[in-house]
Amino acid sequence: MDVAAANTRAARAFVRALAAAGVADACITPGSRSTPLTIAFAEQDAIKPWLHLDERASSYFALGLARTSGRPVALLCTSGTAAANFHPAIAEASLSRIPLIVCTADRPPALRDAGSPQTIPQPGMFGPNVRWAADLPLPSGDTAVAARFAAFATRAVHVSLGDLPGPVHLNMPFDEPLVAAPGEHPPPAPGVIEVGEPVRAQPAPATAELELAANVLAHARQPLIVAGPETGGLPASEVAALAAALDAPVLADPLSGLRTGAHDRSRILDSYDAVLRDPRSGAIAPDCILRFGAIPTSKATGQFLVRHRSSAHIQADLPGSWRDPDALTTHRLSGSPALTAAALRAMLPPGSGSEPGWAAGWLARDRAAREAMRSACASFEEPFEGRVFLELQAALPAGATIVVGNSMPVRDLDSFLFSDAKQLRLLSNRGANGIDGVTSSALGTAAAARGPVVLVIGDLSFYHDLTGLWAAKRHGLSLTIVLVNNDGGGIFGYLPQASHPDVFEEWFGTPSGLDFSHAVALFGGRHTLVRDWAGFRSALTGGGLNVIELRTGRQRNVALHREAWAAAASAAWAPSPAPAST
């Protein structure tokens, strides 16, 4: 068999096995060395091919698509630096536990490290950021090679959905000629064993671990549950039921999935960040802290947890992961959050629960802080960045998705999106917390989501991924983008760098002075510059690529945030009125 026929047969066997294992989408950028696989994907009816022109945008689109659909997405590029452009999204996928099947075409091994064009060291290039990596053999006339390609595909999907989901990397060399000449029909791939679609792993924690943790919780008088960010959301009903059994307040990060929905939210707190910013929060002393998910978005919450290092800290997380940068964990539960929460509740003896007034005190402070921040937002006459989320929460229908950029947008989501029965899906790239690729991630979400999708993003992050907008034009996707434009790095106004005015504006404020309306028009979108909240609400309607720009002043925005947080803390820690005398 000639080389072209061997390439075609191996590529077809590989793609067919991916489809059999449940892969339904592939993000592909054009290139020569990847031709056999590109054609195989284009021929496979069970996999939708998504064309992209930019590898970085393609990889973040795949990340958003996989996170939203819950299924692995294939990602394909040609050899050389094209593959290196995948690395940021792969790092995010690894830390966010998002399954990707990364396929990098390569030149034959004999051409590596020999001065061949478009050839860099690709095997293992993503290091520990992938769950598994393999350098596949060159296709040949050996009938076993196509079967091996299929086996690699099947294994890749299963590994990506294992106990700790994440990306896998298959480096795939092809020799020339890459494809058969027109009119030539290579023989079909031999029959391969198709294992079928894997089931996402639901590992159970060890009984001994559970018994020890349940005993600690049963004796806690001031228990606290922290629900951090989690891809796909935490099991809201199970965590809420455990909180009820313990009568424990739940500090619910907006990315935990616990703030909105029909589950029991009676112990869900949403304004704890403002409460814990105040020095008087030192009077609160939990004796046992149970944490699900990643580290909370709220810095004040992280500092609060560190202050109570001497308390019992129970970390519940998937096997193979250790998300504890402050070394607080005293007890570890390795298993799926749903199974862990349900098992802990079942093991609690009768009479477990917090002391009288513990949960009620948290809830009262949280409620006071929430209402104070609502009032503060309503009182500000000029556009205030935090109010964006109040407006979106009121305007969007149940089932809508809000994707938030890093830096200030995710922090405003934490402060100003409150608990509500209307279910909203809240997503962000909080694995590596980068500002790159956010627009492409949101477009990937829009490709898989069933309801409307809104992205809230800052101007620097939007600039960073302008080429990602092409996917909206090419694939006819609908995405509303709320562009919060404070002309620079707004978050640095809250950090120590702001106290150095001689260097701050040039090196940290970094105003760009860009008119983004031209970029939006380039990609066929609609751009609206809004000046008040009535205009904002009006601009939310309509499909396609819809960019709503809200311009704010960085220094004034910092002042308004601090005013809102101060009002919330003051209300939360106001002395309770003395009981009336009889």
End-to-end CA distance of the chain: 100
How sure is the predictor about 191, in pLDDT bands with cuts at 50, 70 and 90? low
Instruction: Tell me, yes or no, whether 296 lies in a domain.
Output: yes
Q: Is the pLDDT of residue 581 over 50?
A: no
Which of residues 181 and 517 earns the better pLDDT score? 517
Write out pLDDT tens, residues 361-385.
999 999 999 999 999 999 998 899 9
Q: Angle CA(302)–CA(241)–CA(291) in degrees, nearest 5? A: 20
Mark whether 162 and 58 lie in a shared domain. Answer: yes
Does residue 412 surpass a pLDDT of 80? yes
What is the arithmetic mean of pLDDT over 35-62?
Answer: 98
What are the tens digits of pLDDT across the range 539-573? 999 899 999 999 998 889 899 999 999 999 999 99
Of the listed ranges 111-125, 327-341, 407-421, 476-490, the one predicted with least confidence: 111-125
Mean pLDDT of 261-267: 98
Residue 570 burial (C-beta neighbours within 10 Å; 0-12, 13-18, 19+): middle
pLDDT at 488: 75
Q: What percent of the chain has pLDDT over 70?
A: 94
Q: Are residues 360 and 389 in the same domain?
A: no
Count the domains in the chain. 3
Judge if 81 and 148 occupy the same domain.
yes
Give me the DSSP letters along 59-70: HHHHHHHHHHH-
With pLDDT > 90 as the criterion, what percentage of the chain qualifies?
82
pLDDT of 118 reads: 85
Query: Any idea what the CATH number is for the domain that residue 347 is in?
Result: 3.40.50.1220
Q: Are residues 256 and 388 in the same domain?
A: no
Q: Look up the domain containing 464 and give its range.
A: 382-568
What's the pLDDT at 199?
63
Is 184 within the bounds of a domain?
Answer: no
Across 448-457, b (16+ Cβ under 10 Å) vs e yields bbeebbbbbb
Same domain, 342 and 244: yes
- pLDDT above 50 (res 11): yes
Kind and range of the H or E run holding 224:
strand 223-227
Residue 162 is part of a domain; what is its CATH number?
3.40.50.970
pLDDT for residue 209: 95
Q: Is residue 195 part of a domain?
A: no
Q: pLDDT at position 577, please?
A: 46
What distance in Å separates the CA atoms of residue 89 and residue 93, rounded to the nearest whole number?
Answer: 6
Range from 194-198, 275-279, 563-567 carrying the lowest mean pLDDT: 194-198
Q: How confident is the model at residue 575 (pLDDT cuts 50, 70, 90)?
A: confident
Within-domain flag for 371 = no
Query: Would the pLDDT of 76 be above 80?
Result: yes
Do 144 and 35 belong together in one domain?
Answer: yes
The average pLDDT across 401-418 equals 96
**Out of 375-389, 463-477, 565-579, which region has the weakest mean confidence (pLDDT)?**
565-579
pLDDT band at 580 (very low <50, low <70, confident <90, very high): very low
Query: Does any domain span residue 149?
Result: yes
* Residue 1 confidence (pLDDT): 65
pLDDT greater than 60 at residue 155? yes
Q: Are residues 354 and 445 in the same domain?
A: no
Is residue 558 domain-resident?
yes
Average pLDDT score over the chain: 93
In a domain, 399, yes or no: yes
- If one compares 394 and 321, the residue with the highest pLDDT of the two is 394
Listed residues 125, 151, 173: the one ending a domain: 173
Looking at the structure, do residues 121 and 60 belong to the same domain, yes or no?
A: yes
Residues 402 and 547 in one domain: yes
Q: 293: which DSSP letter? A: S
Inform me whether the pLDDT recorded for 34 exceeds 70. Answer: yes
Residue 189 resides in a domain = no
- According to the model, what pLDDT value does residue 5 have? 92
Overall average pLDDT of the 490-494 stretch: 67
Taking 70 as the threshold, does the pLDDT of residue 493 lie above it? no
Q: Do 244 and 316 share a domain, yes or no?
A: yes
What are the tens digits of pLDDT across the range 416-455? 999 999 999 999 999 999 999 999 999 999 999 999 999 9
Residues 113 and 29 in one domain: yes
**Of the listed ranges 3-12, 155-164, 178-187, the one predicted with least confidence:** 178-187
Task: Kindly write down the DSSP assignment for every residue of 111-175, as one continuous string.
Answer: GTTTT-TT----TTTTGGGSSEEEEPPPP-S-HHHHHHHHHHHHHHHHHHTSSS---EEEEEE-P
Same domain, residue pair 250 and 141? no
Cβ distance 103 to 10 under 8 Å? no
